[in-house]
Amino acid sequence: MMSTRKQRAREAEIAINMRQSNGFRVNQTYNLPELPPPYNEISNDDEYVKELPSQRFTSETNTNGDFVKPELPEFLQNMGPGLSPLKENLPVTVSWHDVRAAAPAKQSFIKRKINGCLGKEVQEPKKLLKGVNGVVKSGEMCAIMGASGAGKTTLMNILTHRRPGKLLINADVRINGQKMKQDISGVSGFVQQEELFIGSLTVREHLRFHSMLRLGKEFTEDERINRIDEVLEFLNLTKSENTTIGIAGIVKGLSGGERRRLTFATEILSDPPLLFCDEPTSGLDSAMAFILIQAMRKLTDQGKTIICTIHQPSSEIFFLFDKLYLLAEGRLAYFGSLEKAPAFFRQFDLEIPRNYNPADFYIQQLAIYPKTRKENLAQIEFICDGYEESSQYSCYMAEIISLHSSNSQDDNDNFFLQLFNRCCPVDKQNDVNDVDIQHKTKSRYKTSGFIQFRWLIWRNFVNLFKNPFEIRLRIILAIFVGVLIGLLYIRLKYDQTAVQNMNALVFLIIINTSFSNIFAVTQSYTREYPIFYKEHDDAVYRMPPYYFAKFITEIPLIALTTLIQVTLTYWMANLYASAKRFFIFAGIITLTSFASVGLGSLLSVISNTPEQAQALQIPILLPLMVFGGFFLNNQSGQKWLTWMKYISWFYYSNEALIINQWADVHSLPCEGLEPELPCYHNGDEILQLLDFDKSHFGRDIGLIVVLWFALCFISFFVLLYKSKFHK
């Protein structure tokens, strides 16, 4: 049997030769070899074997010359039952007209103008999509294919109204002729290429969470459980239902194929009439890929509309699709049934060899090879022009234009409202901001904000307690740091040296508490933002429930680790030995940790990665520490910068803790002190030295709380803005 490597090499050679044989069509003449014979006519024993495997499919043409789909082998025809419908869904037709997208030029606007005036090269925006059109109806499964960089993922993101980044987009996407923007998430599912999970949850726990938020309140608990069981069986995940999803490098979990199927299961759980899939078979072997696409085929046969980008599908997978949508260099090269595609390419003298995967053949004809780039571009342009001049394209365009001819707004009797209300039942508790002003009963979300908050709290605590590594690490670090600082300042004496030692210890505790909590929060928040953006875009939950659930989940662990560290350090270092003063000290440090959490959450929401958040910490915290009252006396420093201490919790915490430490100290011995050195006889003199006032004690505590809430308030609205406008 021919080796895989040799076969692939031979396939590539055939494809290139077939492209080159078409050179005369681009007004150039090339001395190229003739088209190689089919595989079964090759007889060179040095490179290939004499007998090659027989065809897996028997391809035929009908009386009209159209290609007839081959039948799958018997062992692959066991389709089995599909999913039972949760509700009655109306047929969905998705259409898009004149979709254009461009990446902005790297040169700034001013630089481009200057280069234009100087006669230098001016970079123009790179066109990714050049006015493509399409329509997919109910009961059809469309494969969007093309070489790398053809624009497949860009088109998918535009159809689903996902975050476009900095792309310049002009598109008209409609469902049954009605315009839909982000509301499309209420009636569709999107299986994206990146797998995003809370890794410490099990498969069943993950699906339970989504069933509670993706299915409306009209479903009972038993119906939700039955739906989860059915989806698990449908995608052959029953054996893995109690397996932890897994965290890379920390918790071992599902295999790649199981994770991919779980991503698909999450989207079909709510039975959407429309499904978008971006490279669903990426990273899967041929068997797992076939199982997944076969599941999509079952849903299509039940009336679903499925649009899927796919890369290098096998022949078995390719023939499960109904429609083929070929992109090349941002243009539409072919759109139509699989049966008519060979005849279309045949008119350009491009014939699919026997025993050759049609999907590979089409992509190879529309790919750019480094050595033949000019000829490849000419052939792509010729094919795209040919398709746009075909009668098949004219028929599709007439249908698309008829669907896009109406510009009327949605009203209560149109299809869109019927479809939306069936997929997103009315919830009287929906926030006014999430409901269209004209139609108060229409909302993207299927559950109320309170239910979303409740289940987000549930998921956060399950994640917290099932991820013991993080809890143990933070508690162990708190114990270690508390003991370490306690040993460094073990049993301090109340003499003249206590002024420097105890004041330094207090400020060190404030610094350590602030930095450790800011670091923990930025890691926790930024790690989950990709999941948050995905689930928020899918209308699983609103932003406010997510923010408050995250906030409430973090507070207990932060308070616990802070109290552990403070307790150990306080008594080891012999700070003022009074239960009252200890609890006041612990309370102030806990409030300080909460204020640092507020800054950490703000740094997280204005940053896109943990590295960016960490890079911002030092420039922000350094001036706040300097004006905290330890490194710089309150009576010193530049007056035009003294305002910074009033926004520094270091200042308020330090003053309150120092007052708490020295307020009840009435006597300090001066024995053994050098005559020229000052002697401080009691705590009041120390407070006077530092320019701290006892009357500020209550004010300091109140302002720490104010700073905490102010930082949380700002971070809340920054995240609210990013959830709606972040690209």
DSSP letter string, 203-251: HHHHHHHHHHHHS-TTS-HHHHHHHHHHHHHHTT-GGGTTSB--BTTTB
Q: Are 92 and 171 in contact (CB under 8 A)?
A: no
Mean pLDDT value of segment 60-72: 57
Helix (H) or strand (E) holding 168: strand 168-175
Residue 651 CB: number of other CB atoms within 10 A? 24
Confidence grade of residue 680 (pLDDT, cut at 50, 70, 90) = confident
- By mean pLDDT, which of 285-299, 435-449, 690-704 is the weakest? 435-449
Structure tokens that stand for 233 in this block? 């069986």
Does domain 84-103+124-187+305-425 sit in CATH 3.40.50.10470? no
Confidence grade of residue 335 (pLDDT, cut at 50, 70, 90) = very high
Which one has a higher pLDDT value, 409 or 238?
238
Q: Are 24 and 377 in contact (CB under 8 A)?
A: no
Distances (CA, A) of 336 to 71, 134, 141: 20, 9, 11
Sheet holding 178-179, edge to edge: 126-136, 94-103, 168-175, 178-179
Distances (CA, A) of 636 to 628, 641, 687, 690: 12, 11, 16, 11
Residue 108 is predicted with a pLDDT of: 59
Which one has a higher pLDDT value, 691 or 565?
565
Residue 19 is predicted with a pLDDT of: 46
Residue 484 is predicted with a pLDDT of: 94
Confidence grade of residue 50 (pLDDT, cut at 50, 70, 90) = very low
Measured distance CA(451)–CA(22) in Å, rounded: 62
- By mean pLDDT, which of 70-74, 83-87, 366-370, 468-472 is the weakest? 70-74
CA R_g for the chain:
33
Q: Inform me whether the pLDDT recorded for 192 exceeds 90.
A: no
User: What three-state secondary structure class fits 171?
Assistant: strand
Residue 412 CB: number of other CB atoms within 10 A? 11
Inter-axis angle of helices 697-725 and 543-572, to 10 degrees? Answer: 150
Measured distance CA(402)–CA(284) in Å, rounded: 40
Inter-axis angle of helices 498-537 and 697-725, to 10 degrees? Answer: 20
| 189-271 CATH | 3.40.50.300
Residue 707 is predicted with a pLDDT of: 94
Distances (CA, A) of 476 to 204, 468, 469, 482: 31, 12, 10, 10
Residue 9 is predicted with a pLDDT of: 52
Residue 149 CB: number of other CB atoms within 10 A? 15
Half-sphere exposure of 460 (CA within 13 A, CB side): 23
Tell me the Ramachandran region of residue 515: left when phi exceeds 0, alpha when psi lies from -120 to 50, beta otherwise. alpha
Residue 440 is predicted with a pLDDT of: 37
Mean pLDDT value of segment 60-88: 60
pLDDT, tens only, 257-278: 888 889 989 988 988 889 999 8
Residue 558 CB: number of other CB atoms within 10 A? 21
Mean pLDDT value of segment 205-223: 89
Residue 685 is predicted with a pLDDT of: 87
Measured distance CA(78)–CA(212) in Å, rounded: 32
Confidence grade of residue 679 (pLDDT, cut at 50, 70, 90) = confident
Mean pLDDT of the chain: 79
- By mean pLDDT, which of 104-108, 183-187, 597-601 is the weakest? 104-108
Query: Which distant-in-sequence residues (6+ apart) come within 8 Å of 223 by Cβ?
Result: 215
Measured distance CA(330)–CA(328) in Å, rounded: 5
Closest CA to 388 of 333, 324, 339, 330: 333
Confidence grade of residue 114 (pLDDT, cut at 50, 70, 90) = low
Q: Inform me whether the pLDDT recorded for 55 exceeds 50.
A: no
Measured distance CA(537)–CA(531) in Å, rounded: 10
Structure tokens that stand for 712 in this block? 């949380």
Residue 611 is predicted with a pLDDT of: 82
Closest CA to 690 of 626, 635, 625: 635
Q: Are 152 and 137 in contact (CB under 8 A)?
A: no
Residue 1 is predicted with a pLDDT of: 38
In the chain, ranges of CATH 3.40.50.300 domains:
84-103+124-187+305-425, 189-271
Structure tokens that stand for 320 in this block? 């499960």
Residue 577 is predicted with a pLDDT of: 86
Q: Inform me whether the pLDDT recorded for 186 exceeds 80.
A: no
Residue 31 CB: number of other CB atoms within 10 A? 6
Residue 41 is predicted with a pLDDT of: 38
Q: 45-54, 67-76, 161-170, 320-329: which has the highest mean pLDDT? A: 320-329
Q: Are 275 and 268 in contact (CB under 8 A)?
A: yes
Residue 56 is predicted with a pLDDT of: 37
Residue 561 is predicted with a pLDDT of: 93
Structure tokens that stand for 366 in this block? 């529309």
